[in-house]
Structure 1
Amino acid sequence: MKKYILASSVSLLTISLCTVANAQSGTRNEQQATRVDEVIVTAQRREQASQDVGVSLSVIGGEQLDEKGISVVNDLENAVPNMEVDSQFGGGQPQFRIRGIGAREYSSNNASTVGIYVDEVAHPYTVTTQGALFDIARMEVLRGPQGTLYGRNTTGGAVNIITNAPTADFRAGFNAEYGTFDRYKVEGYVSGQIAPNLLGRLAAVTEQGGAWQYHRDTGEKLGDLDKSAIRGRLTWDASETVTVDLAATYSIDKSDGRGFRLLGPYTVANGSVTYPKDTAWRITGWGISPQLAAKAGVSTNAKPFRDNDGFDINARVRADLGWADLTSITAYQTFSRKEFNDWDSTRFHESNVLFYNDIDVFAQELRLSSNGDGPFNWMVGAHYADESIDGGFYTEFRGNPNLIDTAYDQSVSAFGIFTHNTYQVNERLNLIVGLRWETEERTLRSGGTYVAPNPPPPAVTYDTDLSEVSGRLGLEYKVTDDALFYASLARGVKSGGFTTYNATSATPFKPEIVIAYEAGLKSDLFDRRLRLNGALFYYDYKDQQVQGLEYDRDNGRLGKITNVPKSHIMGGEIELTWVPMDGLMISQNIGYKTGEYDEYFAIDGPKTDAANPVDGPWDVIITNDRSGERLAFPKMNYGGAISYDWEMSGWELRAETNYNYRDELYSVSSASIIEPFWLWNSNFSVSPAGANWRAGLWVRNMFNTYYEETRNGFNSSSRPTTSPSQGRTYGVRLSMDF
């Protein structure tokens, strides 16, 4: 803790010295912050100042992404209170949790509890969100159930990614950075008018290098990035009342996978080698068997890898009908996943997995909204989605020399209608009513898990459906012209689905339902030099989806997603932004949450194993009462940033430090505690006054903090492995605009 206090002192001392220098120079940078910016968001499908939106909302501008070290959506957890994003077991399957609501699984076929949207288009499968973030205008994170405004229904919240739109005047620019382990990133764009009434924008990015881990037996490096993406956008004013936006994005990711570390001594299955506990931070190990390499189409010296690519295309049409605005969004997405992970962290083949998936999603949304100046504002909409996800994974586990295959084909058809309405009772009070009805059918065909060289068993068809009503009641009250109180009652629903890993049965789990109570305050004080926002919430949870167990009479213990009948979560967030003097900005945020199972009789695996013959059949099932047990998520996270802009001797300078603390996390897979951690980043940049370029230095994980993302107990919780995060890196950055 002492070093973090010292870091804060150094940051404040640096700012003080810069303040003196600025006073002596007698000049002031026109870009200096003089008060907290008014941020325009589209969280409620129309442009509003963020302080006028009666929901718990965090906004991160595109220019802040590099400063905060946000290069993929996973990094949002270091900038948003009460949010965690983990790549499950070091792989490319992220799981989002907001206010404790979220799943932990590594298969790709189930819907996310948090909706991810890029320019209003839903990404229902989170594995498709792992491309580089580039050419971003802002990111909006909404906490709480969503469904009356967005294409899909979610219980946790929504992440809206808004990309930069084409510009009427010609613009171009690039950002380039180079850092530790020969990692580099180059991003560029060009934008302007192509023809009368037609604007265009083309942006691209590539990230390469950065291998920071090494094989304990051979010294071979692991961790190189190899990802690129390109996006084109067109805006066509078809008439005075109709605008058409077209966008297409192609991304490819051939990066190395994440290596694991041994948390304790590990003896391989044949007893020939015992590895000691890993003590070096960057050490790891891997190996791929000839049969798995053949399935992957790679050589037998292949590293853990990703071989993913995706293509998205969408058209947004907006028409002014005079009495209302009509919006149509048509989108198609295709994504291919091939990913090899080595979870035993040795050259032996005792916990290896090869994922393979093909995802196709078509979606159509229509919205009609009022455009008048009266007290009543309304919006009605409909959303249809047709999805298919085919694939599965091959695995190799301890002591079994044969490949284990789990293959499936899944199709989803979903349709929902929704409405969101506000009524201005008077100058200070708004009432809000939102409602949604949704129907969904999910079908999965799978023969379950089988071991080669046995032939695959006959496929069985499993079905689950949903027909649910959700909605929101709320009020917004202007306590003063600069303070908004809001309260809401919402019902959110997340789809059910299928457990597709290591199972002989894919019987579905049920949808989960959240009744959310929330109250909050948004305020701007002291001529908008201080912004203070806060919220409190209570979630009444029904059929929460969690990792659990079931027993098959003939095959024994199986991992499975199950439902907890009743549980609850409560907590809150505070976000503060303060401009105590021109150019100096201090932001702080804190999130706290706690929860427990209220009604949950779960299978007791050890007792059930002991009560049955070693080789089965498994007829005796023993459960234990887990009601009152704490839910497994970090209770608290705390973050903030301090930045200062000043001008001296004809140069514009900026110094910035940001930091985040995450509380301890219980790892279900390894039955152990992942320790809490602090993460600090710093940036310094300089440019000639009025110049079109800027150069800078950056440091990420400034204090070289060791921290873990997830743990893996597949070879038993007594021999867990862990996916460590990268240590301190540093580098240079150059930005230029034309």
Structure 2
Amino acid sequence: MQGKAANMLRNGIAALAIASACWGAAGGADAQPRSARTEAASFDIPAQPLGAALNQFAIQSGKDVLFSPDVTRAKTSRAVRGVYSPEDALAALLPDDTLVFRKSDDDTFLIEAAATSGTDAAWRGEDRIVVTAQRREQQITDVGISMAVFQAGEIEEKRIGDLYDIADATPSLDVVLGNGSNNPTITLRGVGTTNPWLNNNPSVAIYADDLYLPSSVLLTFPVFDLERIEVLKGPQIGLYGRNSTAGAANFISARPTDEFEGYADVSYGNYDAVDARAAISGPLNDQLRFRIAGLLQKGGGYIDRAGTEGTTAGFTRVPGVIPGVASVPAEEGFGDKDIAAIRASLSWTPGDGVEFLLIGHYGKDESEYIGSTNTNGDRLGVFAPPSDEPFVDYDDAHLFADAEQYGAVLQARVALGDRYELVSVTGYTELDRLYAIGDFVPTRIAEPTFDEKVSTFSQELRLSYNADRLYWLLGASYSMDDIDYRREMISYDFLLGTLGTAFDQDDRAYAAFGQAEFELAPKWSVSGSLRYTNERKEYAGGSFDIDPFGTSLITVAFPNLAGGGIFLEPTYDDEDLSGNATVNWKPVDDTLVYASVGRGFKSGGFDGSGITDESSLTPFGPEKLWAYETGVKTALSGGAFSLAASFFYYDYTDKQVLALVDLGAGFNEAIIQNAASSRIFGGDVQADWRPVDTLRFSVSATFLDSKVTKWVSADPAETAARIGNELPGTPEASVTGAVAHSLPLGAAWTLNTTVWATYADSVFRDIENSPNLKSDSYALLNGRLELTQTEGGLSVYLFAKNVLDEEYVTAVRSLVGMEGNFYGAPRTFGAGLRYAF
């Protein structure tokens, strides 16, 4: 099978190269944007104050450029080097979408502030997406990485509000609920973990404004007032560090602006869902700019709680000693959101080429957490689900949450002459939360309450150099991650007591890294990155029997807890050297063919579940991934049509998986071990077509094939049962598509219509490939209809998600023989009002 994958890669490279040449012969080199281009010229303009850069552009292009000093004040240009038409060079030079240019005749360009109406015909660079995937601003067609990019308009249109919404819009990105919705587990292209514990790092490195978030519990922050989201596929170890085996995701918040602007957006939907958000931004003086954005979400609960009245209320296995199950009335509309968040940013530019950006955030979440719907009754045989309705919670427990998350990031950028730039990123984030999630049955089998604190501090420095044919970056980073964890697992009706677990974990990591890109010839370049990481994790914790009624069987089930419990203080030390290399070929303008090879790793550590055996605290080692990829990106007709396609093969070893350990007496425990090796191959394709300015089509798809190739076990039967299995969270096909249309209604209004759909193939949720823990395939249809003022800032809109009311399972849960499903939301719809100025 590996030979088949290698042949697939070789054939893919050849096919992509031939296709690129054909596109070039068909007119790629001569493709014109919707505004006519003029003859190409050679440009060499470094990043610098925008006014000076425009003067250099005028000299090198031989064109006249008109602009007001107020328009360019406190702005820094992007570097432009190479052969471009004047229009393309100027579009690449302008630093952001707040500026546009008009062409009054063949030799004169006028630079001005962008209009807010969205109907300005000036060249805005909208068709040339700029990303920072490689820690510098580049056009997406210049970056040899497969990625999904969501800009502010699309985030708003599709109501992308959290990590789960991003997964719905990104083929091959699979996000599964863990501990309710508190600890999401992430898989990208089949690489990821099924372990939801807060001390296990996700395989997709998540960054919020350049601050690394080391734990999945920090990924539940609300998404609002963003400039862009970038999801990078494949190992990103060189620039993004450890735990980016599957890829990386950047959340980039909207920046303070040079002009006063803002918006207010309020919507109301079924299930009494209220969503209100607003932002205001502008200058305080010539050097200071600010932005404040806020979010409030209420309601939206669509779960029915069955309660215990008439079923298990009063049940106890030890009458007169252990109180009976509480009498809980039935309740409709459970699962309401109760979230408030605010973000404040301050930008200071004390001089040319110097900027400091301080971003602070605070959020509070007191939402009702949604549990899974039980499908097979409880462990005692006392309860059986009375129906197969999808949105029913049978818990007797009081489900509550009280979470706060806050922090700040300070970014400093200093231009050292025309070629060098120094960047410093200092950040801190902390999450404090207390919550209970229940065990999805109306008896007290295993009802956990969690008290957690997670904090992270990091400091990163980067020095970069950008010359005619050479770009390099050198960096160093230090991070401190601290976790305090307490859990009480009530088991009054099963083990007749309570299992307590507590631990503290400190993680310290140092890294040195670098990247370089060199132009071998006008159409050829090579790039590579390398990172050295040194990491140490210190763990102190264990489990103990809490016996409130003198009846506990905890020590019978877990003999190692007899005599006061188990407490250990292990440490984990590791160092790694990883990186990647890429060859880039640009046969014509706006077309890139690339081939890359890279190695990534995900840190080892400790199991963070119930610690009932010393083997639970034996550190598991890192998992490793060798990735081979080839791809093409092209933009034709001035960006009116774009296509990206890639083929990849992964050699995935020492995968961290939950494997059962026999504890005796008929009990076992799932503990993380390096038990599996596997291979994954597949392909991505993205296409975007805008035949006219008012109509746009887009489609994105990923196809995957995964297989376990090795399993480490003392049980030959277990090994035989695992070999050949699919990896969890790896659908064979996942597709998203969208159509957007704008219809002018006279001179005053425009009607914008967006329809998008998502399809995901069936997928196993465990590495055992248990048929009862499998999510079936599903398709979702969504839409938005918006009436917008042409010259004003008022918009009125209608929205709907899951229009066809598809019943689908997003995740499954298994607990001491009990099984349950997490269902995706039913049809939701509503209306909103937005005003921007």
- TM-score, with normalisation over the residues of structure 2? 0.78
Query: For structure 1, which segment, 168-177 or 596-605, has the greater mean C-alpha deviation from structure 2 after superposition?
Result: 596-605
Deviations 1:270-327 (A, max 9, x none): x5x4333432232222222xxxxxxxxxxxxx3x232111111121111122252111
CA distance in 2, matches of 1:696, 1:309: 32
Task: State the partner residue of 1:733.
Answer: 832
Task: State the partner residue of 2:176.
Answer: 86
Task: State the partner residue of 1:66.
Answer: 156
Corresponding residue SS for 1:145: coil
Partner AA of 1:648 in structure 2: L
CA distance in 1, matches of 2:534, 2:118: 55
- Asked if residue 579 in structure 1 is aligned to residue 690 in structure 2, the reply is yes
Corresponding residue SS for 1:63: helix
Task: State the partner residue of 2:119.
Answer: 30
- Asked if residue 149 in structure 1 is aligned to residue 239 in structure 2, the reply is yes
Query: For structure 1, which segment, 410-419 or 33-42, has the greater mean C-alpha deviation from structure 2 after superposition?
Result: 33-42
Listed as ranges, the matches of 1:225-374 within 5 Å are 225-264=337-376, 266=377, 269=380, 273-288=382-397, 302=398, 304-322=399-417, 323-344=419-440, 346-371=441-466, 373-374=467-468
Partner AA of 2:744 in structure 1: E
- Contact 1:602 1:626 survives alignment (8 Å): no
- Asked if residue 463 in structure 1 is aligned to residue 553 in structure 2, the reply is no
Listed as ranges, the matches of 1:103-252 within 5 Å are 103-217=193-307, 218-221=329-332, 222-252=334-364
Corresponding residue SS for 2:141: helix
Task: State the partner residue of 1:476.
Answer: 584
- Contact 1:601 1:625 survives alignment (8 Å): no
Partner AA of 2:485 in structure 1: G
Task: State the partner residue of 1:541.
Answer: 652
CA distance in 2, matches of 1:66, 1:348: 42
- Contact 1:148 1:436 survives alignment (8 Å): yes
- Asked if residue 101 in structure 1 is aligned to residue 202 in structure 2, the reply is no
CA distance in 2, matches of 1:286, 1:153: 35
CA distance in 1, matches of 2:632, 2:538: 43
Deviations 1:380-412 (A, max 9, x none): 000100111011322234612311112111000
CA distance in 2, matches of 1:205, 1:516: 39
CA distance in 2, matches of 1:287, 1:603: 40
- Contact 1:263 1:277 survives alignment (8 Å): no
CA distance in 2, matches of 1:188, 1:629: 48
Aligned residues: 675
- Contact 1:122 1:151 survives alignment (8 Å): no
- Contact 1:697 1:731 survives alignment (8 Å): yes
Task: State the partner residue of 2:765.
Answer: 667
Compute the displacement of 1:141 (Å). 0.4
Deviations 1:498-533 (A, max 9, x none): 112123231111101101000000012344322110
- Contact 1:186 1:207 survives alignment (8 Å): yes
- TM-score, with normalisation over the residues of structure 1? 0.88
Task: State the partner residue of 2:515.
Answer: 420
Task: State the partner residue of 1:686.
Answer: 787
Compute the displacement of 1:90 (Å). 2.9
CA distance in 2, matches of 1:354, 1:624: 38
- Contact 1:89 1:712 survives alignment (8 Å): no
CA distance in 2, matches of 1:569, 1:228: 41
- Contact 1:564 1:597 survives alignment (8 Å): no
- Contact 1:388 1:409 survives alignment (8 Å): yes
Structure 1 residues 144 and 469: CA distance shift in structure 2, 3 A: same
Deviations 1:354-391 (A, max 9, x none): 222111211000000003x3211100000100111011
Q: Which has the greater radius of gyration?
A: 2
Runs of 4+ in 1 over 6 A off after TM superposition: 31-36
Deviations 1:86-128 (A, max 9, x none): 1225331011111101111221011111011111111111211
Deviations 1:166-202 (A, max 9, x none): 0111112111111001111111111111233111111
Compute the displacement of 1:546 (Å). 1.4
- Contact 2:200 2:608 survives alignment (8 Å): no
CA distance in 1, matches of 2:721, 2:752: 56
Structure 1 residues 625 and 728: CA distance shift in structure 2, 3 A: closer
CA distance in 1, matches of 2:566, 2:161: 43
- Asked if residue 695 in structure 1 is aligned to residue 796 in structure 2, the reply is yes
CA distance in 1, matches of 2:778, 2:152: 26
Deviations 1:204-262 (A, max 9, x none): 10100112111123331311100111111011113334211111100111100013212
Corresponding residue SS for 2:815: coil
Corresponding residue SS for 1:93: coil
Structure 1 residues 32 and 705: CA distance shift in structure 2, 3 A: farther
Structure 1 residues 519 and 181: CA distance shift in structure 2, 3 A: same
Task: State the partner residue of 1:724.
Answer: 823
CA distance in 1, matches of 2:302, 2:619: 41
- Contact 2:202 2:243 survives alignment (8 Å): no
Partner AA of 1:567 in structure 2: S
Deviations 1:599-624 (A, max 9, x none): 1134669x8xxxxxxxxxxxxxx764
Partner AA of 1:281 in structure 2: P
Structure 1 residues 149 and 506: CA distance shift in structure 2, 3 A: same
CA distance in 1, matches of 2:410, 2:726: 45
Task: State the partner residue of 1:590.
Answer: 701
Compute the displacement of 1:553 (Å). 6.0
Corresponding residue SS for 1:91: coil
Deviations 1:131-162 (A, max 9, x none): 21111011000001112112544101001011
CA distance in 2, matches of 1:507, 1:59: 40
- Contact 1:601 1:627 survives alignment (8 Å): no
CA distance in 1, matches of 2:653, 2:177: 26
- Contact 2:535 2:574 survives alignment (8 Å): yes
Deviations 1:664-709 (A, max 9, x none): 1213297532111111111000023212110000011100011112
- Asked if residue 501 in structure 1 is aligned to residue 609 in structure 2, the reply is yes
Task: State the partner residue of 2:129.
Answer: 39
CA distance in 1, matches of 2:580, 2:698: 30
CA distance in 2, matches of 1:594, 1:32: 45
Gaps of 5+ in 1: 1-27, 289-301, 608-621
Task: State the partner residue of 1:521.
Answer: 632
Task: State the partner residue of 1:16.
Answer: none
Corresponding residue SS for 1:661: strand
Gaps of 5+ in 2: 1-116, 308-328, 549-561
CA distance in 2, matches of 1:601, 1:45: 39
Query: For structure 1, which segment, 446-455 or 409-418, has the greater mean C-alpha deviation from structure 2 after superposition?
Result: 446-455
Compute the displacement of 1:724 (Å). 1.4
Listed as ranges, the matches of 1:436-451 within 5 Å are 436-448=531-543, 450-451=545-546
Partner AA of 1:284 in structure 2: D
Structure 1 residues 596 and 268: CA distance shift in structure 2, 3 A: closer
Percent identical pairs in the alignment equals 29
Deviations 1:699-734 (A, max 9, x none): 111000111121112131xx4111112100110011
CA distance in 1, matches of 2:544, 2:685: 47
- Asked if residue 392 in structure 1 is aligned to residue 486 in structure 2, the reply is yes
- Asked if residue 409 in structure 1 is aligned to residue 504 in structure 2, the reply is yes
CA distance in 2, matches of 1:33, 1:234: 29
